[in-house]
Chain A
Amino acid sequence: MKARVLVMPRAGVLDPQGKAVAQALAGLGFEGVAAARQGKVVELELAETDPGAAEAAVAAMCERLLANPVIEDYTIEIA
């Protein structure tokens, strides 16, 4: 099965890239963008067939490597 991990800067952590994206959008004339946050997506192909077990495994991967809990939050989608 497939898993999709969304890693985002935690609330309260400065996100200079997101801020620059918001400014660039304003510069292009897109009005009304109050804020932008920039994160990353990691897609995984897993041999596991049980969704619960897959989610637990991916959570462990996030804790060990895919996200840095000091500065990032993650969400997991299993499909």
Chain B
Amino acid sequence: MKAVVIVFPGSNCDRDARVALEAATGRPPAMVWHGDSGLPPADLVVLPGGFSYGDYLRPGAMAARSPVMQAVVRAAKRGVRVLGICNGFQVLTECGLLPGALLRNAGLRFVCRPVRLRVETARSPFTNGYRPGSALRMPVAHHDGNYFADAATLERLAGEDRVAFRYLDNPNGSLGDIAGILNEGRNVLGMMPHPERAAEALLGGTDGRALFDALAA
């Protein structure tokens, strides 16, 4: 499994993602700079957490228009798996690979703490290592994680089994307690919680490990 991690100016979880991917796949992922216009051959592209372009204009807005993202969008449309974590989820909604948007947290405060999630579907290459309904613990660290979409989109996401994770203790006001969603082809996942920061016992939890193991399998 060949993995690529995209590095934007302001990414800060790119190296955490690299460590988690290397542990799961046995080899280090390629780190690709945002200004590159192409991608190396890849089975998985990870858009890491952080504050790309300083969150200027809107979180993820500038990153979504960077040269490398055009290649990522083309790859996603060919079926390559794309995982967006935190700022990566914001980039995925801004570039149109996922519906909806991430608003400022309802409580207005930056939230940085472990949260509990429920696995809503195992029907994806990201979540097939989890039992649907099981509870996971992972950290969140964001100011803009409040998922918003119109009622028709929310209904469609639920009806098509495309909500991957819901919060058990909603930290940010997300509609429907949504913490992560899949695209129509189920090869793109965006999520606000950080599985790569919960992939080693040393980091305080291992509930994120199964996501990377499932991708590597």
A residues with a Cβ closer than 8 A to B are 13-14, 16-17, 20, 64-66, 68, 70-71
Q: Which chain A residue lies CB-closest to B105?
A: A16
Partner pick for B106 among A16, A64, A65, CB 8 A cutoff: A16
Complex Cα gap A13–B61 (Å):
18
Quote the shortest CB–CB distance from A16 to chain B (angstroms).
5
- The count of chain B contact residues (Cβ–Cβ below 8 Å) is 20
Q: CB distance A70 to B108 under 8 Å?
A: no
Q: CB distance A71 to B101 under 8 Å?
A: yes
| A-B Cβ contacts below 8 A, count | 37
Q: Assuming the A-B contacts A14-B106, A17-B108, are A70 and B57 also in contact, with contact meaning beta carbons closer than 8 angstroms in the complex?
A: no
Q: Assuming the A-B contacts A14-B106, A14-B146, A70-B93, are A65 and B61 also in contact, with contact meaning beta carbons closer than 8 angstroms in the complex?
A: yes
Task: Check if B173 is an interface residue, CB within 8 A of chain A.
Answer: yes
Complex Cα gap A66–B109 (Å):
25
Partner pick for A68 among B94, B108, B150, CB 8 A cutoff: B94
Q: B94 contacts which chain A residues (CB < 8 A)?
A: 68
Q: CB distance B107 to A16 under 8 Å?
A: yes
